[in-house]
Structure 1
Amino acid sequence: MLANNTSTQAIQPMPVPTSYSRVLARELDLQEKDLHTLLKGTGLQSDVLTECSEVSATTEQQMRILENALLLTQAPELGLRLGRRLLPATHGPLGYLILSCPDVLTSLQAFAQYLPTRLPFSTVTITQNDTQVECRLTLNIQASNSIQRLLQECFALMIQSIGEASLAQELVDARIELQHAKPDYHHLYHDYFHSPVEFSQTHNRVIIPLTTTQIANTSGNTDSYRVALELCQQLIDRLPSRDILTSHQVKRLLLSHPIGSVGAEQIAQELFITKRTLQRRLNREGTSYREIVETILADLASNYLGNPRLSIESIAFLLGYNDSAAFRKAFRRWYGISANEYRSTL
């Protein structure tokens, strides 16, 4: 029996962010004109997917969207495909939380606490004993077997991605237990999971050796990432509540990911348009993708320099520069003085 050392977040009566449906639409390779097919029967309009502000759907609407996706793709393995896309960064601030946690166990505990605020039909419990850590999923909804299976697959892949984000390597020593029966496409599991999977189990859970969960987060700079999360959220809050301009949508998306982790191609995909269309729309607004990125970097750099806890090297790292020399050169281009001179004026 596992010791009674748990981290559990009760279900909250809150809606589901449509950011997950945007991830799903990208997996289906839908374009702007096709988005309505994914939302059929929900009462939602396509702009809930094209606007990058935090719009929400009810649990019932989210389940209908998943059903629509299965009908559109006729791909029973969609849960595997979607789950592989649900990296920490897709959970909004959770991406920063994972980076700021000191080890794998703390990352998993943060996930357990945070996930129900994003997916309120789920509860994740983390339990540990002297040898292992158990991550258990409970789904608090009535859904078809195909949807239950899809969600179970997504859960297991999310746990795997969180562990691997901290370890910076594949999670190979876990054991994955899923309640659904072995599907016809079970041979595909080897392409997605790096640990053994068992079917028709009593619970949906991922069991990881305790020693693995105690390995330090390889990303380091944990305090710096907490500062980065707070500042990026402040900048997001300054944006209009409705992103009418494409430039505002791009800014929101860039600030919602760890800086430097996405490029123009991915931003265009998140807007369900081509990179060329993105460039054309930004040109009409008198700006460019590069100009937006430079503005964000300059704004973040200025704010970071006001924090005495952050060294120039840490700031360069947070802004995605490989070395502080490149950052110093960019800062002088933005402000006409060195970063140290700028800091001395604050």
Structure 2
Amino acid sequence: MLNSGPGAYFIPSSYSRIVARVLQLQERDLPKLLRDTGLPPEVLLAGDESRMSGRQQLQVMDNARTMGRAPDFGLRLGQQLQPSAHGPTGYLALASPDLRTALHSLRDFLPIRIPFAQLVLDEEGDWLSCRVNTLLDAGPAEQRMLMECFALVLQALVESFLSRRLTEARIDFEYPSPAYHAVYSEYLHSKFYFDQADTRVLLPLTLLDEPNPGGDADSYAAAREMCAALLEQVPVTDLTTTDRVRRFLLAQPVGSVGEEQVARSLFVSKRTLARRLAREGNNYRKIRDQLLAEMAARYLRDNRLSVEAVAALLGYHDSANFRRAFKRWHGMPPQSFRAAYNVGDS
């Protein structure tokens, strides 16, 4: 593993928010998770765009392991690192036409999201060897947690592509079998081995050309451009609860979260979230509908996307339901809206 100074790399605070959610913390518990980092609790709230140093991120992970009294915390955390947790990089990988391209996308763009990690891909016989170099000066327990997360990140990406469990890989760990080794099989779906020469995930080459039935480069590009533009319109300082809810919804695949998950992202109850939004003259349903209406209008101005594609991007499995919702939002069906803006046929 390559190493460098622990403070030389900066990581989005969203990863520490995932740590806090895994621990099921409440608002009052956040300072404990940030102990010895010098960071305010606000960095863990949804919508915050702070970046943490490598040392601060490692301290958060150490604090989490202690607070959770869980030596297997790296596995618990890694299980939550689905492709969507990596922002645009994860979406890009999932929109790739095949698994090989997805892995190359992760290799090329992951350092933008996690600058202390470098994915290395090498073909070895009938296998693709996937290794990660970590550029942090981590201790043995910290390094083990990082490698557990790495194995589960790769597993999640491949399984998202295959729409099934990945059972035919081989996962090597360079460290000795930990005391909690028996629980590894609850998280990893392929065979795994300890005390190996390196930590790596070996994938059969036969999987790499698997096509992605959900891959749509145009839809992906349009979605990411639009979400980035909307995010830029929301201030990143002095965020209201409404701002935080809006930013959180924009950062997730549309339709993948509900009010309960939004409340958890702010480490409060659903009732507390509703009360805070009401003080601002708002509520969750109103924010969500306004956001969907705005996204739908922006998508329809893009002549790369059919009405059916727009419906799918907004989480509508039935385009007829989307058409009814759009008419409620804008007073006209999507085809008429598109024609009025002269952006092409639906």
Q: Same fold (TM over 0.5)?
A: yes
8 Å contact kept, 1:40–1:68: yes
Q: Shift of residue 225 of structure 1?
A: 1.7
Match of 2:153 among 151, 158, 181: 158
Cα distance, 1:44–1:225 mapped onto 2, change above 3 Å: same
Q: In structure 2, how many angstroms separate the alpha carbons of the residues matched to 1:173 and 1:312?
A: 39
* Residue equivalent to 1:4: none
State how many pairs are aligned. 337
Cα distance, 1:243–1:259 mapped onto 2, change above 3 Å: farther
Q: Shift of residue 106 of structure 1?
A: 1.4
Task: Identify unmatched segments of 5+ residues in structure 1.
Answer: 1-9
Identity of aligned residues (%): 43
Match of 1:190 among 171, 185, 193: 185
SS in 2 for 1:291: helix
Task: Identify unmatched segments of 5+ residues in structure 2.
Answer: 342-346
8 Å contact kept, 1:16–1:118: yes
Match of 1:135 among 130, 134, 159: 130
Match of 1:105 among 100, 103, 112: 100
Q: In structure 1, how many angstroms separate the alpha carbons of the residues matched to 2:221 and 2:158?
A: 19
* Residue equivalent to 2:21: 26
* Residue equivalent to 1:269: 264
Q: Shift of residue 132 of structure 1?
A: 2.1
8 Å contact kept, 2:46–2:248: no
* Residue equivalent to 1:290: 285
Q: In structure 1, how many angstroms separate the alpha carbons of the residues matched to 2:302 and 2:114?
A: 34
* Residue equivalent to 2:69: 74
Match of 1:239 among 234, 238, 241: 234
* Residue equivalent to 1:3: none
SS in 2 for 1:85: coil
**Residue type of the partner of 1:27?**
V
* Residue equivalent to 2:340: 345
8 Å contact kept, 1:178–1:199: yes
**Residue type of the partner of 1:223?**
D
**Residue type of the partner of 1:278?**
L
Q: Shift of residue 322 of structure 1?
A: 1.1
Cα distance, 1:211–1:243 mapped onto 2, change above 3 Å: farther
Match of 2:310 among 285, 300, 315: 315
* Residue equivalent to 1:114: 109
Q: In structure 2, how many angstroms separate the alpha carbons of the residues matched to 1:310 and 1:130?
A: 41
Alignment of 1:31-110 (within 5 A): 31-110=26-105
Match of 2:143 among 145, 148, 152: 148
Q: What are the Cα deviations for residues 180-230 of structure 1, in whole angstroms up to 9, with x where unaligned?
A: 111111111111011011111111110101111211113233321221111
8 Å contact kept, 2:8–2:53: no
* Residue equivalent to 2:344: none
- 4+ long deviations beyond 6 Å: none
**Are positions 1:248 and 2:232 aligned together?**
no
Q: In structure 2, how many angstroms separate the alpha carbons of the residues matched to 1:345 and 1:207?
A: 53
* Residue equivalent to 2:276: 281
Q: In structure 2, how many angstroms separate the alpha carbons of the residues matched to 1:21 and 1:135?
A: 25
8 Å contact kept, 1:174–1:195: yes
SS in 1 for 2:277: helix
* Residue equivalent to 2:172: 177
**Residue type of the partner of 1:111?**
L
Q: In structure 2, how many angstroms separate the alpha carbons of the residues matched to 1:326 and 1:69?
A: 43
* Residue equivalent to 1:6: none
8 Å contact kept, 1:168–1:218: no
**Are positions 1:223 and 2:214 aligned together?**
no
**Residue type of the partner of 2:323?**
R
Q: What are the Cα deviations for residues 14-59 of structure 1, in whole angstroms up to 9, with x where unaligned?
A: 4111111100011111111110001111111111112522111111
Cα distance, 1:309–1:51 mapped onto 2, change above 3 Å: closer
Q: In structure 2, how many angstroms separate the alpha carbons of the residues matched to 1:71 and 1:144?
A: 15
Cα distance, 1:160–1:137 mapped onto 2, change above 3 Å: same
Q: Shift of residue 95 of structure 1?
A: 3.0
8 Å contact kept, 1:99–1:222: no
**Residue type of the partner of 2:242?**
S
TM-score, with normalisation over the residues of structure 2? 0.94
**Residue type of the partner of 2:232?**
D
8 Å contact kept, 1:156–1:176: yes
* Residue equivalent to 1:214: 209
TM-score, with normalisation over the residues of structure 1? 0.94
Q: What are the Cα deviations for residues 57-97 of structure 1, in whole angstroms up to 9, with x where unaligned?
A: 11111111111111112211001000000111111112321
SS in 1 for 2:257: coil
SS in 2 for 1:57: strand
SS in 2 for 1:41: coil
SS in 2 for 1:128: strand
Cα distance, 1:326–1:301 mapped onto 2, change above 3 Å: same
8 Å contact kept, 2:97–2:211: yes
SS in 2 for 1:101: coil
* Residue equivalent to 1:329: 324
